Structure 1
């Protein structure tokens, strides 16, 4: 307390905040995840010191009563003044202000607390640092002193300086007892090596090519846990798994949201699926420049074998087994975020699915990838340029708007890969082929032709007429049974698909029904109040006062009635018979269901062409086709905020018969990066964020069931679907 004085019976004074002695331990121990995280912080400090390498040596007494960890770098070192005014000052802004090292490295440390991570490694710390002028400064710290001290400035640290001819650099020697040694196990050391392998980004190869930026990490065990009888020295290098990809997308995105990406695959030696993708976010990234390198691995047995053949080895002679390869992918997977060549933990840890890939894969396993299939690296800029801010506890990035943008953009880049992977797997026959149910049913219908072939074959082989006729009758009977079963399956399929279509418009029902329902509830309340007042008083004025509320109830009830009238044709309780329907009237009925939704979203529509032509089909199927097409148009034109929002349907007529139906919209169209546009009709293929990939597949099946064919044309703007007549009698009635 200073300058205290008494005025008007009040005690007034100024005071200083004095951190407690254990404050240093709080930022050194409590904010650091574990021993390995502490060593990674010290590795970054060695990099900041312009060291070409860092050597971490573990040793211990044979009876496990004492251990020592020596962390040695060969950087520019620190003089006495730097140690006193910067190294010993918690949360100093020195690196924050400098931003780069003397040799131009972008500094990893910014918070001014990483060096105190040594407090978690042992009981004592000896610091030895030699600067480029030959001044050697030592400082000895007993961490228990900070635990015992009331205030931080009560702790005194002895610092000595001498001249030496030794090379510049800094050495930290941590010592501890048996209790601390228990923290180090064989598994812990393996994890340390693994974490360091994942620490440095392979995207930094261009930088590492510069001699000033060369940085190597060595782990040495001198009679330690894994080598109690000798010495093990290992240079830690990233595992070259990323170059053994099945699929890969890489490229850079400028801060304005534009970039060029390269897609590659090693799944086929006969097909060239590699592709260059021009990508535009349509807006600034709002998280700086981004660089991506994302590799995806298939997990089927055949794919694991291919991966092994690409060269995954223990050493020059021994390849990995399938089980080892699978475990390697389990351990090494994750999409890491790197800044200046170093990973920001835990982003990229195998069990930290920060992009929610597994959640998306559950919804669409055929197209989406899971976190255990991907090894990715994303480079981000400094905090000043990206606003992607590391947490003080070194446990990721702060959940701000910039981080939200990073997640959304990363998901979009991954989707570019997923679309191409889906197409490749379909073409190579790797994934389970989409079940074209109508095509399968046609095989059942063709059984009669197969039976005729059998009878003719038997005749040609000389079988007598009586026997041939018996076989023919038996096959004919079986053919009728199979045909009837196929018809029942077809009806059931159509019913379920129709119900799925109804499920897709529940949001429309809720949206349009919410306002009239709310108005009815509110008006009923006031109507009852006025009506009760009339019953009590017999005052006709009270009765008259209730009439406006009754009118409002009636009006909103009519809105409900009109809504249900529009939806009534979609009821699939019993499947209608095949019948001649007026195509124009049917389409008007379908479009009217979405009239309010389109009006709210400024979407116009027109239906042109023949208003009289009829077509024999199941009306539910025709509605199902156009419900799915219209829903997609509304979604994408609204989602992408298309400049013009318009749907046009044209009914083509030839010789008083339906020739085709064209459906177009002015939206963003099919993703131009999809080479095979017919993929959109495959079940589970979707570009919607929460899509299931069923709508267009259902539409295609419904068309085929009715002798129609739904196809898409490649146009510069919007989408262009056509429904053609395949044959005039494709529908097997059997009613």
Structure 2
């Protein structure tokens, strides 16, 4: 014998009171219902001074007649807005935002007494009364609840055949609303409609009778957006991205405004692991965005406004305190569909893109959630695989959402890469310099400059022993760390700090900094390096041929080259050019060569994908040649896009144009070559062609490893 499910009235409390996160979100949901009803104006009122305090939401939408109220509004989980029933509205052709059939229960979150007046076109006005305290008393079943519905012979509110719905809620669950609560509600309501997309004149207003002053001095969003330092807008159509970038600093010496843009460009995606591709339901290993990535998502547009929260810069902008307060409360990356917000993306504490985590490794180069106001816009009809959670707090984390998030994270990477040079110029100007400080040529070069400055100032007796110790221990630690293969965060951070501090010591000497201060600086570096003393041991040097080094790196990379269909050629391995012998730690050099091959694979693939109309299979070429009477070299050349960063920048830690990259590959290679007494340089393939013959298709980057003859 079969039986049906039964439900107690308490489930209504679960769906209304406990499923909706807070009072603001409950009001937010009721306003979204007005949007679905083709309203153009919505009036939200929170009257806390009335004899019986109330919250009301009134709209001028299509309204409801008695039949609609009984068969749809009172039916929980009704399918009237989903599946085959999900059709555009009659007046503005809007697609319904609500599809779960439980949004109307949001009112239960606000209060226990509800009065509803609603009128449809050419129908009588209907009055609905719900007493939740009575309906939820005892242990009633849902079918034992009672709702009073009456058709009125004369309309009370919607006269002259006007239509709409007005819901008034009394016996409020929250007895008192603070000024902060009301202002927070106002700001949330103001974010319902995207400021960048027209939504059929849909307008929402908030009124707080007797407490209007609480809403004074709330910044208008346009005022805030004008103060952004970086502005970035983009559109993704047919898997191609078009974007415009604006750098608008306040008037400062040495800093100029800049505008850049691209049309119908490829969007390079942050690389995914095999496990991540499986989670995203992405079989393709393409580096760039492809059409299938947008299945169930559709075209995407967006606007980013990025702020620099340094106190000295905000003072130059003006309205410092108000701007700071607004950014504290309103920053984040919001998502809109058909111009209406998908809650809770962009709320305080929400970091759905992981912006703050990204900053751990490169805090100076990447934006945080509290420094960006952004809107991502989707079309409701095209983004059908993005399903909103029943509690209205974001999308279900299905493969479509994971692909969507990955795409937006890659757009953020593009923005951060585009603005990094402007950020450096701005930092330099704020420090009182005309231009960004150039990177030292090498640690050894920086130390030589310091030694000369010490000698010129007559400080050799006081400081030279410290500098000699720093130089000796730095080289020992570098040798050990590099030989351990630790081309990671700690390696780069340690050496970057030491190299930066050497530059600061030199500047201190030039500026006649006190001797005590200089001793403290040098003492700090000695202490830092002494901490690694137990690890120090000399690297094992061996005689090795260039052939053996390249052959081993090729064997270790062979499967990747084959997997990605990379054309590989090496006249060194084929015996077409002369081999040479060097002395080095072979594993270090092989590791450096593998780094270079990995980079070449990525960039050669990227260029091939971005310009498929040209027959340009990815190509990597490794050769050897006599660089001079004292040295020989190994060159790794590709047909990628070439270096997109200045050469002196590309070899610094954390500098990269690869989405999601750490920017340590070339830095690691440089450290390896310095540790064995060799050198390292980067150039274009065309520049290398001035020295040796290389095949014509090679027109990308060339990396040269130079070894001293033995």
Report the TM range for the smaller structure's normalisation: 0.7 to 0.9
CA deviation string 1:547-576 (max 9, x = no partner): xxxxxxxxxxxxxxxxxxxxxxxx983157
Aligned to 2:62: 76
- State the Cα distance separating 1:170 from its structure 2 match: 1.6
Query: Quick one: distance in 2 between partners of 1:289 and 1:482?
Result: 60
Aligned to 2:275: none
Are 1:172 and 2:155 an aligned pair? no
Aligned to 1:492: 476
| Change in CA separation of 1:717 and 1:689 when aligned onto 2, cut-off 3 Å | same
Query: Quick one: distance in 2 between partners of 1:644 and 1:493?
Result: 42
Are 1:381 and 2:379 an aligned pair? yes
- State the Cα distance separating 1:353 from its structure 2 match: 0.9
- State the Cα distance separating 1:293 from its structure 2 match: 1.3
- State the Cα distance separating 1:106 from its structure 2 match: 2.9
Q: Is the 8 A contact 1:48 1:106 kept in 2?
A: yes
Relative contact order: is structure 1 or structure 2 higher (C-alpha 8 Å, sep ≥ 6)? Answer: 2
Aligned to 2:526: none
Q: Is the 8 A contact 1:127 1:172 kept in 2?
A: yes
Are 1:248 and 2:218 an aligned pair? no
Query: Quick one: distance in 1 between partners of 2:471 and 2:3?
Result: 90
Structure 1 counterpart SS, 2:106: helix
| Change in CA separation of 1:156 and 1:337 when aligned onto 2, cut-off 3 Å | closer
> How do 1:76-155 residues align onto structure 2 when only pairs under 5 Å count?
76-96=62-82, 97-104=85-92, 105-133=94-122, 135-148=124-137, 150-154=140-144, 155=146
- State the Cα distance separating 1:478 from its structure 2 match: 8.1
Are 1:199 and 2:185 an aligned pair? no
Moved more, 107-116 or 401-410: 107-116
Q: Is the 8 A contact 1:434 1:682 kept in 2?
A: no
| Change in CA separation of 1:449 and 1:687 when aligned onto 2, cut-off 3 Å | closer
RMSD: 4.0
From 296, 312, 333, the counterpart of 2:306: 296
Structure 2 counterpart SS, 1:405: helix
| Change in CA separation of 1:237 and 1:27 when aligned onto 2, cut-off 3 Å | farther
Aligned length: 598
- State the Cα distance separating 1:492 from its structure 2 match: 2.9
- State the Cα distance separating 1:51 from its structure 2 match: 2.2
| Change in CA separation of 1:646 and 1:595 when aligned onto 2, cut-off 3 Å | farther
| Change in CA separation of 1:679 and 1:292 when aligned onto 2, cut-off 3 Å | farther
Structure 2 counterpart SS, 1:56: strand
Aligned to 1:531: none
Aligned to 1:536: none
- State the Cα distance separating 1:394 from its structure 2 match: 0.8
Are 1:34 and 2:22 an aligned pair? yes
More helix by share: 1
Structure 2 counterpart SS, 1:376: strand
CA deviation string 1:22-62 (max 9, x = no partner): 33333222221121111111111222222221112222457
From 435, 442, 446, the counterpart of 2:445: 442
Structure 1 counterpart SS, 2:30: helix
CA deviation string 1:344-386 (max 9, x = no partner): 1111112111111212211222333222222221112226644
Structure 2 counterpart SS, 1:150: coil
- State the Cα distance separating 1:686 from its structure 2 match: 3.1
Query: Quick one: distance in 1 between partners of 2:230 and 2:588?
Result: 39
CA deviation string 1:275-318 (max 9, x = no partner): 32523413332222211212222222233234x34xxxxxxxxx
Query: Quick one: distance in 2 between partners of 1:502 and 1:332?
Result: 40
| Change in CA separation of 1:645 and 1:101 when aligned onto 2, cut-off 3 Å | closer
| Change in CA separation of 1:407 and 1:670 when aligned onto 2, cut-off 3 Å | farther
Query: Quick one: distance in 2 between partners of 1:713 and 1:247?
Result: 31
Structure 1 counterpart SS, 2:405: helix
- State the Cα distance separating 1:251 from its structure 2 match: 1.6
Query: Quick one: distance in 2 between partners of 1:235 and 1:367?
Result: 31
| Change in CA separation of 1:494 and 1:53 when aligned onto 2, cut-off 3 Å | same
Query: Quick one: distance in 1 between partners of 2:193 and 2:347?
Result: 13
Are 1:338 and 2:331 an aligned pair? no
Q: Is the 8 A contact 1:613 1:656 kept in 2?
A: no
> How do 1:415-434 residues align onto structure 2 when only pairs under 5 Å count?
415-430=413-428
- State the Cα distance separating 1:635 from its structure 2 match: 6.2
- State the Cα distance separating 1:241 from its structure 2 match: 2.6
| Change in CA separation of 1:617 and 1:327 when aligned onto 2, cut-off 3 Å | farther
Q: Is the 8 A contact 2:546 2:581 kept in 1?
A: no
Query: Quick one: distance in 1 between partners of 2:359 and 2:30?
Result: 38
From 661, 674, 681, the counterpart of 1:710: 681
Query: Quick one: distance in 2 between partners of 1:600 and 1:270?
Result: 44
Q: Is the 8 A contact 1:382 1:388 kept in 2?
A: no
Structure 2 counterpart SS, 1:158: strand
Q: Which stretches in structure 2 are left out of the alignment for 5+ residues?
A: 268-288, 489-534, 610-615, 687-696
Structure 1 counterpart SS, 2:127: strand
Aligned to 2:35: 47
Q: Is the 8 A contact 1:423 1:676 kept in 2?
A: no
Query: Quick one: distance in 1 between partners of 2:217 and 2:309?
Result: 30
Query: Quick one: distance in 1 between partners of 2:629 and 2:60?
Result: 89
CA deviation string 1:110-150 (max 9, x = no partner): 22221221122112111112333362211111112321372
TM-score of the two chains, using structure 1 as the length reference? 0.71
Aligned to 1:665: 638
Aligned to 1:189: 182
- State the Cα distance separating 1:174 from its structure 2 match: 1.0
Query: Quick one: distance in 2 between partners of 1:23 and 1:655?
Result: 83
Aligned to 2:291: 283
- State the Cα distance separating 1:627 from its structure 2 match: 4.6
Q: Is the 8 A contact 1:338 1:379 kept in 2?
A: yes
Aligned to 2:352: 354
| Change in CA separation of 1:648 and 1:137 when aligned onto 2, cut-off 3 Å | same
Q: Is the 8 A contact 1:444 1:486 kept in 2?
A: no
Structure 1 counterpart SS, 2:570: strand
Are 1:595 and 2:559 an aligned pair? no
Q: Is the 8 A contact 1:200 1:238 kept in 2?
A: no
Are 1:651 and 2:624 an aligned pair? yes
- State the Cα distance separating 1:696 from its structure 2 match: 1.0
- State the Cα distance separating 1:92 from its structure 2 match: 2.2
Are 1:573 and 2:537 an aligned pair? yes
Query: Quick one: distance in 1 between partners of 2:662 and 2:3?
Result: 64
Aligned to 2:245: 263
Q: Which stretches in structure 1 are left out of the alignment for 5+ residues?
A: 1-11, 310-318, 455-470, 505-570, 730-735
- State the Cα distance separating 1:669 from its structure 2 match: 4.8
| Change in CA separation of 1:678 and 1:172 when aligned onto 2, cut-off 3 Å | same
Aligned to 2:701: 720
Moved more, 416-425 or 683-692: 683-692
